[in-house]
Amino acid sequence: MTHKKLRRCIQEKTSKAQTSGSNSRHASTLTKPKSYSSEHQKSLPLTMPRKSSLGASSQALRKTLSPRNTPAEASMKKSPNKALSVTGISPSKTTHPNIAPSCLKKILPDHLQGPYPTVDSGDLEYVMTSLGRKVVLGRGNNGEVLLMRRHSDGTLLAVKRLCNKRFRIKYMLQELAAMQAVSSCPFFPKLFGVVDNSSFAQEFLGDESTNHAVNFAAARFTYGLLTAREWLYVCRDIAEGLKALHRTGWVHNDLHVGNAMLCPRPSGSKVGWTAKIIDLGLAYPLQNLPPAYKLTHEEKQCYYQMRKQVAPEIVEGKTQFSTKSDIYSLGKLFLDIAFNSSSLHGLRHLGLACMIRSPAHRPTLSSVLKKLDGLCSKMAKSKLPPLPPP
């Protein structure tokens, strides 16, 4: 082909591209829908697939998955309007059958398969503060926990919504699997069900009259909230819950005072409080643990300063997470509670024993519980005043 013919061919293709582009822009201006006003957006129902809603469109689900065409993405393309929940099915408001997330079966390992209960997003409403803001129970790197109310019976729920768009489905289903593994244990919140492809509802562990929940981190700075004896009992609850989690073949990997919640005990109990472990977002089954950390020197120093509950063998990358690393985190929780308290010196010594640098020399949870039982019985014989704030 000569230079003149080549130049003429390029000019023809350029003119065609410009013509088609102008036509498409003209067509888009003709068919552009009317935008909602701000007042209209405020009145939209919860199930509308907009950004602030719990519902999610099929396009959001595709962005959550990998950029390649996965089996789940292909199934969503066939039915783009069925992305209200993880299953692609709108469940009943009164009964919530166990439905396995069939659109995700082919891309998840066996230990993440359901079935999981579901909660209808149309039956939920946000609980607002006196200033008209949503009640946020907690917020972290991977998401936030909002307080919501179920229309059908008025039950308050803690709805966890994950924000990691790339891996939120995998992380959520892994946390659901861990919660179902300890569903019969009273030291973990009850799972109500999946709301959509990025959120699920669980038991609200707080005061329903004030919409306020208290964790160990906040309770230890509240003078008179718990006595020394009550602190020993709630620490025993956490140790008992951790033992139940290990018995099912899971490790928590993120236990600290912020992930231990206080709940009022039923009337007639020895003490006024019980405790429950929350946030199984980093929990892993012992048969499928993540690889050991490979941290730089600066990252290791950051862990030692900011995340002191992580065992040193994990920070140094010598081994994977284990039951022994969870016991180390439990010991750090004991130290935080017993800090600067003469009446809890026994709990402090137990925490130091759990934080021995060598994992092989750390006590088992059975011996920890036995030691806590001895401290509780000893404390019951003496009447001590409430602990002063640290």
Q: Determine the Cα–Cα distance for residues 61 and 67; give it in Å rounded to an integer.
A: 11
- The three-class DSSP label of residue 354 is helix
Strand order in the sheet with 260-264: 214-215, 260-264, 273-277
Amino acid at residue number 58: S
Preceding peptide of 115 cis, ω within 30°: yes
List C-alpha distances in Å: 128 to 50, 121, 210, 297, 377. 19, 17, 12, 44, 43
H helix intervals, 248-354: 297-306, 312-315, 323-338, 345-354
Is 160 assigned a ligand-binding role in the annotation?
A: yes
Q: Which of 324, 382, 330 minimizes the C-alpha distance to 358? A: 324
- CB of 337 closer than 8 Å to CB of 347: yes
Residue 222 DSSP code: S
- CB of 41 closer than 8 Å to CB of 50: yes
Amino acid at residue number 150: R
Determine how many CB atoms are found less than 10 A away from the CB of residue 303. 17
For residue 59, how many C-alpha atoms fall within 13 Å in the half-sphere facing its CB?
3
Q: Which residue has the tokens 């039982």?
A: 373
Residue 190 DSSP code: P
Adjacent-strand bridge partners of 126: 148
- CA triple 131-279-185, angle to 5 deg: 115
Q: Determine the Cα–Cα distance for residues 163 and 316; give it in Å rounded to an integer.
A: 29
Q: Which of 277, 275, 267 minimizes the C-alpha distance to 234? A: 275
Determine which helix (DSSP H) or strand (DSSP E) holds 174, and give its type and residue range. Answer: helix 168-181
- Binding-site residues, please? 160
Binding residues for ATP: 160
